[in-house]
Amino acid sequence: MAVYTTVDDTTLHAFLAGYDVGDVLSFAGIAEGVENSNYLLRTTKANYILTLYEKRVDADDLPFFIELMTHLSDAGMNCPVPLAARNGRILHDIAGRHCALFSFLDGTFSRFPNRAKCRALGASLAELHLKAQGVSRRRANALGPASWTTLLTSIGADADILGTGMYDTITGRLQQILQHWPDDLPHGIIHADLFPNNVLFVGDNLTGLIDFYFACEDILAYDVGICLNSWCFEADGSFNMTKSRALMQGYESVRPLTDKEKSAIPVLAAGSAMRFFLTRLYDWIHTPKDALVSPKDPMEYWAILRFHQSVSGITAYGIDLRPPAGDAS
Amino acid sequence: MAVYTTVDDTTLHAFLAGYDVGDVLSFAGIAEGVENSNYLLRTTKANYILTLYEKRVDADDLPFFIELMTHLSDAGMNCPVPLAARNGRILHDIAGRHCALFSFLDGTFSRFPNRAKCRALGASLAELHLKAQGVSRRRANALGPASWTTLLTSIGADADILGTGMYDTITGRLQQILQHWPDDLPHGIIHADLFPNNVLFVGDNLTGLIDFYFACEDILAYDVGICLNSWCFEADGSFNMTKSRALMQGYESVRPLTDKEKSAIPVLAAGSAMRFFLTRLYDWIHTPKDALVSPKDPMEYWAILRFHQSVSGITAYGIDLRPPAGDAS
């Protein structure tokens, strides 16, 4: 949560001179997104978000992200619309950073979304999976299963700050996940980071999906696993099956899952838990004690991982292998 | 620039239930103010700022700040209006912090304001000095001249990171300022931090004074010195007398300065430069190298200090001791 790059008034006005966005009323850096600098711009016409891409985002990936958001918004999804300047360009350079101007989406996020929101999220996730099929560019998942062993090795014995023997325990659980990792499930573009803070609502109406900067090509149902982990566990660590069922029903109302995909949910969700556990653990170890931004507790995701590795079957998620009953059954 | 305290949706809705502000459309932490957490709230009615007071602000001072802003906005000044809940209360507690809701002011700040903006700033500063006279509460200046020797002592030999012998040089210049510090000039409530980033404009129209959390009782003309330092020096360190004259003319168009006040401008401005030099130097030494927020370079204010101690008279500021010539002269 930070604004890393400052945009002064001279720079802003020079940049906006290339756009038809009216006159500036206010301009404030907002504390959203850990990867980029974001500014909320109000003009006499509308509200906008100006995003400056910081160094953690690879400039070569920007055309993919822009194409994805343009494609999804053209297809009617509620996501930020990348706006072209009068010269037709979307990506620009200001203050030493690549940047782009986006439409502003109304809505706020829920830290612990209710069932109705989980259902809406599921439906939007499936819609994203279907509508992103038309995107021509591709981006590999830099944080996919192939990276987890390397990540764990780089953490090494430091993992034992979580408890004696943790490095070995994590290694064992990671091997278990990788041995069962499916290789024949439908692929496509996934959001890969659709946590509640990246989904906006007004009331229970989903008004926006944001922060596409982890989007990549991977197993579609893996994205479902990421959402189960971030939407369906309560503050006390318990798994809320009612929310899980709502999320899955929402998803399947748009894109029904195959039995193979359903059967893989436990290992995909465990893999997602492993991915966030490992990156959080890495940040936990490498963030200076006096940093303004506190790292997130990796143990939250360790508990989630253990849940998925302990379930006896997919009914634990409120789903089963029978196809949804039709009206005529 | 940071949001230190997180306000989740449940907390926000519970808090706003006490107000008549319509339904929430968006809510984002903004990266303004180094002392507090600020959120920009958009509702179906208007835009607001929610401020959470962090530990650097003394809770005992809050009634003074609230009274000051209420008084100034009641008197027609463009400053944030503290809003009362239905129960009449302005100060509340959420997320473990004292907080208050304010009207949102349009406008953006200029890093290097032009002459017209300097004039408008001068006039608004004088207006603030006059209108704040009706405020009943008082707050001493914790960063006034009485504190500078203590601050320099606490920095001690570390000052020499700026160059060998700097501690002694600073001590000498500080003594010079304190020996000439005036004790018979008009006092009142001053803003004490009216840098360009705390003054909003739409075009050249001044639309807002913000961030009153250094406001206190002190010499009124000392506030003029603070503004000369922060508004009238260019990026290359040169003093822009045209802007200084505009600022002073703006001020005197509302509140003419006495000859005694004018004569004290060089030492008051030097004192102001010393105050910001010392606090910046302290932060420079005490900010961890890997902190997200870079400390500001103290040497900028050292150069300003040297300027004021080298001027031969107040004509350097574009002013003189004669009263402004009337139409009939």
Q: For A69-77, which contacts have Cβ atoms below 8 Å and span 24 or more sequence positions?
A: A69/A102, A69/A212, A71/A131, A71/A132, A71/A134, A71/A135, A72/A128, A72/A131, A72/A132, A72/A209, A73/A103, A75/A131, A75/A134, A76/A131, A77/A124, A77/A127, A77/A128, A77/A131, A77/A209
Q: Mean pLDDT by 10-residue block, N- to C-terminus, for chain A (329 residues)?
A: 76 96 93 81 96 90 98 97 97 95 95 95 98 96 96 95 95 97 97 97 96 97 98 93 97 97 97 97 83 79 95 92 58
Q: Give A205 to chain B, closest Cα distance, Å.
A: 12
Considering the domain architecture, whether residues B30 and B126 belong to the same structural domain is answered as: no
Q: Distance between CA atoms of B53 and B102, rounded to whole angstroms?
A: 13
Q: Give A288 to chain B, closest Cα distance, Å.
A: 8
Tens-level pLDDT at each residue, chain B (329 residues) = 456 788 999 999 999 999 999 999 999 998 776 678 999 999 999 999 999 998 888 999 999 999 999 999 999 999 999 999 999 999 999 989 999 999 999 999 998 899 999 999 999 999 999 999 999 999 999 999 999 999 999 999 999 999 999 999 999 999 999 999 999 999 999 999 999 999 999 999 999 999 999 999 999 999 999 999 999 999 888 999 999 999 999 999 999 999 999 999 999 999 999 999 999 999 999 887 666 567 788 999 999 999 999 998 999 999 988 755 555 44
Q: Rounded to 10 degrees, what is the CA torsion of A265, A266, A269, A270?
A: -150
List the domain range (segments joined by +) for residue B63.
9-103
- Does A220 reside within a domain? yes
CATH at residue B150: 3.90.1200.10
Cβ of B31 and A26 within 8 Å? Answer: no
Q: Distance between CA atoms of B64 and B53, rounded to whole angstroms?
A: 14
- In the DSSP assignment, the letter for residue A290 is T
Q: Distance between CA atoms of B84 and B66, rounded to whole angstroms?
A: 11
Residue corresponding to tokens 């001068």: B122
- Does B108 reside within a domain? no
Q: Which residues contact A306 (CB under 8 A, 6 or more apart)?
A: none
- Residue A226: closest CA among A199, A254, A253: A199
Q: Distance between CA atoms of B19 and B103, rounded to whole angstroms?
A: 13
Considering the domain architecture, whether residues B69 and B131 belong to the same structural domain is answered as: no
Q: ipTM strictly over 0.90?
A: no
**In the listed set A76, A103, A130, which residue is the last one of a domain according to the structure?**
A103
Residues A62, A63, A65, A69: is their CA dihedral positive or negative? positive
Cβ of B30 and A30 within 8 Å? Answer: yes
Task: State the alpha helices, DSSP H only, in chain A.
Answer: 9-16, 62-74, 115-131, 145-155, 166-179, 220-231, 241-254, 259-286, 299-310
Q: Distance between CA atoms of B249 and B123, rounded to whole angstroms?
A: 8
- Residue B309: closest CA among B229, B249, B204: B229
Helix (H, G, I), strand (E, B) or coil at B67: helix
Q: State both tokens at B191.
A: 């803003």
Point out the residue among B26, B40, B293 whose CB comes nearest to the CB of A292.
B293
A200 pairs with which residues across the strands?
Answer: A208
Q: Distance between CA atoms of B127 and B208, rounded to whole angstroms?
A: 13
Considering the domain architecture, whether residues A173 and A311 belong to the same structural domain is answered as: yes
Cβ of A108 and B10 within 8 Å? Answer: no
Model confidence, pTM: 0.86
Cβ of B31 and A28 within 8 Å? Answer: yes
- Does B2 reside within a domain? no
Q: Give B104 to chain A, closest Cα distance, Å.
A: 10
What one-letter code names the amino acid at A153? T
What one-letter code names the amino acid at A65? F
What one-letter code names the amino acid at A203? G
pLDDT at A329: 44
pLDDT at B329: 44
Q: Which residues contact A242 (CB under 8 A, 6 or more apart)?
A: A115, A318
Point out the residue among B27, B105, B292 whose CB comes nearest to the CB of A291.
B292
- Residue A278: closest CA among A164, A183, A142: A142
Quick check: A55 and A203 in contact, CB under 8 A?
A: no
pLDDT at B213: 95
- Does A108 reside within a domain? no
Considering the domain architecture, whether residues B176 and B265 belong to the same structural domain is answered as: yes
Quick check: B19 and B43 in contact, CB under 8 A?
A: no
- Residue A100: closest CA among A39, A168, A148, A145: A39
Residue corresponding to tokens 């404009």: B201
Considering the domain architecture, whether residues B54 and B168 belong to the same structural domain is answered as: no
Describe the crossing of helices B259-286 and B166-179 by its angle, rounded to 10 degrees.
150
Point out the residue among B2, B104, B112 whose CB comes nearest to the CB of A2.
B2
Considering the domain architecture, whether residues B122 and B70 belong to the same structural domain is answered as: no
Q: Distance between CA atoms of A209 and A132, rounded to whole angstroms?
A: 13
Residue-level length of chain A? 329
Q: What angle do CA A75, A77, A82 make, to 5 degrees?
A: 80
Cβ of A10 and B111 within 8 Å? Answer: yes
Q: Collect all residues of chain B within an 8 Å Cβ-Cβ radius of residue A202.
A: 23-25
Task: Judge whether A293 is closer than 8 Å to chain B, CB to CB.
Answer: yes
**Distance of alpha carbon A152 from the chain centroid:** 22
- Does B4 reside within a domain? no
Considering the domain architecture, whether residues A99 and A129 belong to the same structural domain is answered as: no
**In the listed set A103, A125, A152, which residue is the last one of a domain according to the structure?**
A103
The secondary element (H helix, E strand) that includes residue B248 is: helix B241-252
Considering the domain architecture, whether residues B200 and B52 belong to the same structural domain is answered as: no
pLDDT at A293: 63
Task: Judge whether B130 is closer than 8 Å to chain A, CB to CB.
Answer: no
Helix (H, G, I), strand (E, B) or coil at B94: strand
Quick check: A112 and A235 in contact, CB under 8 A?
A: yes
- Does A324 reside within a domain? no
Considering the domain architecture, whether residues A138 and A277 belong to the same structural domain is answered as: yes
Considering the domain architecture, whether residues A232 and A312 belong to the same structural domain is answered as: yes
Task: Judge whether A110 is closer than 8 Å to chain B, CB to CB.
Answer: yes
Considering the domain architecture, whether residues B275 and B304 belong to the same structural domain is answered as: yes
Q: State both tokens at B132.
A: 């704040």
Total count of domains within chain B: 2
pLDDT at A1: 39
Considering the domain architecture, whether residues B59 and B185 belong to the same structural domain is answered as: no
Question: Chain A 174-203, CB below 8 Å of chain B: which residues?
Answer: 200, 202
CATH at residue A53: 3.30.200.20
pLDDT at A148: 97
Quick check: B185 and B228 in contact, CB under 8 A?
A: no
Q: Distance between CA atoms of A175 and A239, rounded to whole angstroms?
A: 24
Q: Give B52 to chain A, closest Cα distance, Å.
A: 14
B27 pairs with which residues across the strands?
Answer: B41
Cβ of B25 and A107 within 8 Å? Answer: yes
- Does B327 reside within a domain? no
- Does B224 reside within a domain? yes
What is the pairing mode between strands B205-209 and B199-202?
A: antiparallel
**In the listed set A46, A77, A103, which residue is the last one of a domain according to the structure?**
A103
Q: Is B91 exposed, middle or buried (0-12, 13-18, 19+ CB in 10 A)?
A: middle
